[in-house]
């Protein structure tokens, strides 16, 4: 058996929930509403599936927010115009499926019948649970649902109440088919800290077949919290206050106390009943009018007080906030370098085989980019356990599963390393790719040394000062002699081939950098020597052949000998006193600096200092499916996001707005989350005048380390956030003082 490297014990949060949908009905269609309720009642957690009218203003921001918070997986067209349905599906970025095609393959199919989660829907206990008459009043359908039991259990299933008044108390006690279908389904995390532990009793009073009222009630109930906070939500017909003996009791039965009392206690809401009639309904229930026009909380009084009420207050804060759906349980995971199997501990136990969405989050996935190709890498060894490809849901790995699977409850995951992830990301976004010339040089340097040394004071400046200027000088000479006759790419190739014949430059700490003292420059040069980027030696100016030579320290002798003509001479001295130590780049680093690789590596070092678990390639040539060929300076994963961008010596090179837009477009085509623009030397004036709207501008804070400022913003040029990566600027400021 092959031995696998053990990487440690990790914790994974395992959430299980049914796939859920939003139903689209034609405007003013009560038959569409009944059909949507019937479909939702047959699904586990169907009470949390919104129903939307396909009206002219269905695509408002409020509706989009409701659907986003509901966190549904598809739009089901019940009876709306197909073209309008497709338009709305595209607007909400949801797959569209017809009501009669819900049994077809798709993520929306990964749910189960509600009786798989609750034994009260089938069997001896089912007669204590109510369902609505399919042809009954609309309010009763919204409250209890239209439940169709399986044929073999039709005689032991929820009953239609003898009188609709029984649905009053049933709402507060959870004794309806819709509420029983919620068994084992809940939310396990919320983002809002403004949701109190106590919310008012919301009573919707409606005419029996008022579609606007039942839709408001249905969607408010779908999104209310079901565990952390309870917002009692009731629906009554407009004749209930006068004709129901237990109307007041049914309202009080819904009240939940947790140490705080909300004022007002009850909010009456209606779109079909006049306010005077609502006041009369409140009087019939023994409620006292409140003078508060917004919700507030106080400690419970020792002596019972009458319940207060208000009419048509905005209570949407009780549900319009993000939360994580599904019951959650933590599970241990022993991670190996390769496929790792672990026993999944589900938060709920279903009575029968069912399907659902398994969502995993936790330590093993931290730092991984949330891209589809990475989800496939994690689950490709466990394909027999999931029926559709895994995907990311925020930072959760989502897998549509049938329960139980073949080797239940074991799940096989492969947590890839970033060095494996980065090439797969490029392979997914391009037709082919390979390291560019700077990229190959940069990868070699990264493997052989610690590029973090580039961030030390004056190291970059020292390496640059010691560079033998081949390429730039060679290209300028060609252009001077043959102006405009040799393309830039060919000139660079000639420079690489013939420019290397120049002798490497060497200097002492005294004259390496202008305006810097030797005691400031020497530590930087010594740091470069530690990494093998530079070497120490002695200088020799031969009186006989007039050549200026570098003698490595290990090759020095007691008698200085010219390596060119072998004439005896003497080593160079500092101000005519002691022998002066010279520094020279090794040949490989000299060529790397001349080819601009230093800038790429400096950006990589700066990013890795901030996020040590990141990984980058310092230069890649890519070919897209349309044959377009491009070069990207930096590509990799940074803080769990795909990053791509350009690295320049000077920020003035970004002054061309068209160039910036082309760079960002390249990052978008590479499916990057963040676009980086990096420069060693910057000019704020250039950025203020030329950077297009939405691109991050440099900060004005100055400091001593390379690349110490970063800002990000989302582009606002009318582009969808999913289409354009974030922009980031990593700037390296010239050193100012020791």
Which range (10-24, 55-69, 478-492) has the least confidence? 478-492
Q: Is the pLDDT of residue 635 over 50?
A: yes
Are residues 605 and 452 in contact, defined by beta-carbon separation less than 8 angstroms?
yes
Closest CA relative to residue 281, chosen from 305, 250, 325 = 250
Using CA atoms, how far apart are residues 191 and 324, in angstroms rounded to an integer?
9
The pLDDT of residue 546 is: 81
Mean pLDDT of the 99-125 span: 86
Are residues 690 and 698 in contact, defined by beta-carbon separation less than 8 angstroms?
no
Planar angle of CA 271, 274, 279, nearest 5 degrees: 115
Mapping DSSP to helix (H, G, I), strand (E, B) and coil, where does residue 187 land?
strand
Using CA atoms, how far apart are residues 284 and 276, in angstroms rounded to an integer?
12
- The enclosing H or E element of 14 equals strand 6-17
Using CA atoms, how far apart are residues 308 and 287, in angstroms rounded to an integer?
5
Q: Is the pLDDT of residue 564 over 90?
A: no
Percent of the chain with pLDDT over 90: 47
Using CA atoms, how far apart are residues 521 and 517, in angstroms rounded to an integer?
6
Mean pLDDT of the 66-72 span: 95
Q: Is the pLDDT of residue 669 over 70?
A: yes
Out of 178-182, 261-265, 475-479, the most confident range is 178-182
The pLDDT of residue 685 is: 36
The pLDDT of residue 707 is: 36
pLDDT digits (tens, 9 = 90+) for 676-703: 998 887 544 343 333 344 443 333 222 2
The pLDDT of residue 473 is: 57
Mean pLDDT of the 492-496 span: 57
The pLDDT of residue 97 is: 97
Side-chain half-sphere exposure of 259, counting CA atoms within 13 A: 3
The pLDDT of residue 482 is: 62
Single pTM value for the model: 0.81
Average predicted confidence (pLDDT) for the chain: 83
Out of 151-160, 470-479, 553-562, the most confident range is 553-562
Using CA atoms, how far apart are residues 486 and 226, in angstroms rounded to an integer?
72
DSSP states along 201-227: EEEEEE-TT-HHHHHHHHHHHHHS-SS
Instruction: Assign 257 a pLDDT band (cuts: 50, 70, 90).
Output: low
Mean pLDDT of the 459-476 span: 77
Query: In Å, how far are 349, 432, 619, 624 from 424, measured between CA atoms?
Result: 37, 11, 16, 15
Which range (58-67, 524-533, 679-688) has the least confidence? 679-688
Closest CA relative to residue 160, chosen from 145, 182, 173, 142 = 145
Using CA atoms, how far apart are residues 714 and 710, in angstroms rounded to an integer?
14
DSSP states along 421-448: HHHHHHHHHSSEEEE-HHHHHHHHHHHH
Mapping DSSP to helix (H, G, I), strand (E, B) and coil, where does residue 334 land?
strand
Side-chain half-sphere exposure of 124, counting CA atoms within 13 A: 0
The pLDDT of residue 21 is: 97
The pLDDT of residue 703 is: 29
The pLDDT of residue 117 is: 79
Kindly state the DSSP code that residue 512 receives in the 8-state scheme. Answer: S
The pLDDT of residue 250 is: 85
The pLDDT of residue 51 is: 98
- The enclosing H or E element of 472 equals helix 471-481
Q: Which residues contact 8 (CB under 8 A, 6 or more apart)?
A: 334, 335
Which range (93-97, 602-606, 722-726) has the least confidence? 722-726
Task: Choose between 653 and 292: higher pLDDT.
Answer: 653
Burial (CB < 10 A; 0-12, 13-18, 19+), residue 348, is middle
Helix, strand and coil in the chain, % to nearest 5: 35, 25, 40
Query: In Å, how far are 131, 153, 559, 642, 658 from 157, measured between CA atoms?
Result: 9, 7, 106, 52, 68
pLDDT digits (tens, 9 = 90+) for 310-362: 999 988 877 888 889 988 889 888 888 888 888 888 887 666 667 899 999 99
DSSP states along 372-431: HHHHHHHHGGGGGGBSS--EEETTEEEEEEEES-TTTTEEEEE---HHHHHHHHHHHHSS
The partner residues of 679 in beta bridges, in order of sequence, read 648, 731
The pLDDT of residue 304 is: 55
Using CA atoms, how far apart are residues 157 and 130, in angstroms rounded to an integer?
9
Identify the sign of the CA torsion 430, 431, 435, 439. negative
Q: Is the pLDDT of residue 180 over 50?
A: yes
The pLDDT of residue 731 is: 43
Q: Is the pLDDT of residue 724 over 90?
A: no
DSSP states along 611-655: -TT-EEES-EEEE-TTS-EEEESEEEEETTEEEEEEEEEEGGGG-
Which range (250-264, 449-463, 689-703) has the least confidence? 689-703
């Amino acid at each position: 058996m092959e031995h696998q490297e053990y990487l440690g014990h990790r914790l994974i949060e395992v959430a299980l929930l049914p796939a859920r949908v939003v139903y689209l009905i034609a405007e003013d269609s009560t038959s569409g509403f009944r059909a949507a309720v019937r479909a939702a009642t047959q699904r586990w957690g169907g009470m949390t599936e919104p129903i939307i009218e396909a009206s002219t203003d269905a695509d408002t921001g409020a509706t989009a927010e409701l659907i986003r918070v509901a966190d549904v997986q598809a739009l089901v067209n019940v009876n709306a115009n197909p073209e309008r349905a497709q338009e709305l599906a595209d607007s909400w970025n949801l797959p569209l499926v017809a009501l009669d095609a819900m049994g077809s393959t798709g993520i929306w199919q990964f749910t189960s019948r509600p009786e798989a989660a609750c034994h009260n829907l089938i069997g001896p206990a089912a007669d204590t649970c109510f369902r609505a008459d399919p042809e009954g009043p609309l309010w009763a359908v919204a409250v209890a649902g239209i439940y169709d039991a399986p044929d073999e259990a039709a005689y032991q299933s929820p009953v239609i109440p003898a009188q609709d008044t029984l649905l009053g108390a049933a709402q507060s006690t959870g004794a309806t088919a819709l509420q029983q279908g919620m068994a084992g389904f809940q939310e396990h995390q919320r983002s809002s800290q403004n949701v109190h532990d106590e919310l008012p009793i919301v009573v919707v009073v409606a005419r029996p077949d008022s579609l606007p009222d039942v839709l408001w009630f249905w969607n408010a109930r779908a999104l209310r919290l079901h565990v952390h906070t309870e917002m009692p939500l009731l629906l009554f017909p407009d004749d209930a206050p006068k004709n129901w003996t237990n109307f007041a009791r049914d309202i009080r039965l819904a009240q939940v106390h947790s140490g705080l009392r909300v004022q007002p206690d009850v909010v009456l809401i209606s779109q079909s009943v006049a306010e005077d009639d609502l006041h009369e309904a409140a009087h019939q229930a023994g409620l006292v009018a409140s003078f508060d026009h917004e919700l507030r909380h106080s400690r419970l009084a020792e002596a019972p007080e009458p319940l207060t009420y208000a009419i048509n207050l905005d209570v949407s804060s009780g549900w319009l906030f993000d939360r994580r759906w599904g019951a959650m349980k933590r599970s241990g995971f022993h991670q190996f370098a390769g496929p790792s199997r672990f026993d999944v501990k589900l938060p709920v136990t279903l009575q029968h085989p069912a399907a659902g969405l398994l969502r995993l989050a936790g330590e093993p996935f931290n730092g991984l980019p949330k891209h589809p190709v990475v989800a496939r890498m994690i689950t490709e060894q466990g394909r027999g356990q999931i029926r559709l490809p895994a995907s990311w849901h925020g930072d959760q790995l989502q897998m549509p599963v049938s329960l139980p699977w073949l080797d239940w409850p074991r799940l096989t995951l492969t947590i890839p390393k970033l060095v494996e992830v980065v090439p797969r990301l490029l392979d997914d976004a391009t037709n082919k790719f390979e390291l560019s010339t700077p990229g190959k040089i940069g990868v070699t340097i990264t493997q052989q040394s610690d590029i973090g040394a580039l961030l030390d004071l004056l190291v970059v400046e020292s390496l640059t000062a010691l560079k033998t200027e081949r390429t730039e000088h060679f290209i300028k000479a060609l252009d001077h002699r043959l102006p405009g006759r040799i393309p830039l790419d060919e000139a660079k190739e000639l420079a690489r081939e013939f420019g290397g014949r120049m002798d490497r430059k060497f200097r002492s700490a005294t004259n390496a950098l202008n305006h810097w003292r030797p005691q400031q420059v020497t530590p930087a040069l010594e740091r470069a020597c530690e990494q093998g980027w530079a070497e120490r030696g002695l200088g020799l100016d031969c009186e006989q052949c007039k050549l200026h030579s570098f003698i490595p320290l290990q090759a020095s002798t007691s008698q200085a000998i010219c390596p060119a003509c072998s004439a005896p001479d003497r080593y160079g001295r500092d101000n005519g006193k002691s022998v002066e130590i010279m520094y020279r780049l090794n040949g490989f680093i000299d060529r790397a600096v001349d080819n601009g690789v230093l800038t790429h590596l400096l950006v990589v070092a700066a990013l890795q200092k901030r996020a040590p678990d990141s990984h980058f390639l310092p230069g890649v040539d890519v070919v897209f499916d349309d044959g377009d060929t491009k070069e990207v300076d930096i590509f990799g994963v940074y803080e769990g996001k795909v990053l791509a961008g350009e690295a320049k010596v000077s920020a003035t090179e970004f002054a061309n707005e068209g160039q910036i837009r082309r760079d960002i477009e390249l990052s978008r085509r590479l499916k990057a989350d963040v676009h980086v623009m990096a420069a060693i030397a910057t000019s704020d004036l250039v950025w203020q005048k030329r950077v297009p709207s939405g691109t991050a501008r440099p900060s004005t804070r100055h400091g001593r380390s390379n690349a110490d400022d970063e800002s990000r913003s989302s582009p606002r040029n009318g582009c969808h956030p999913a289409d354009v990566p974030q922009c980031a600027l990593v700037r390296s400021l010239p050193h100012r003082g020791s």
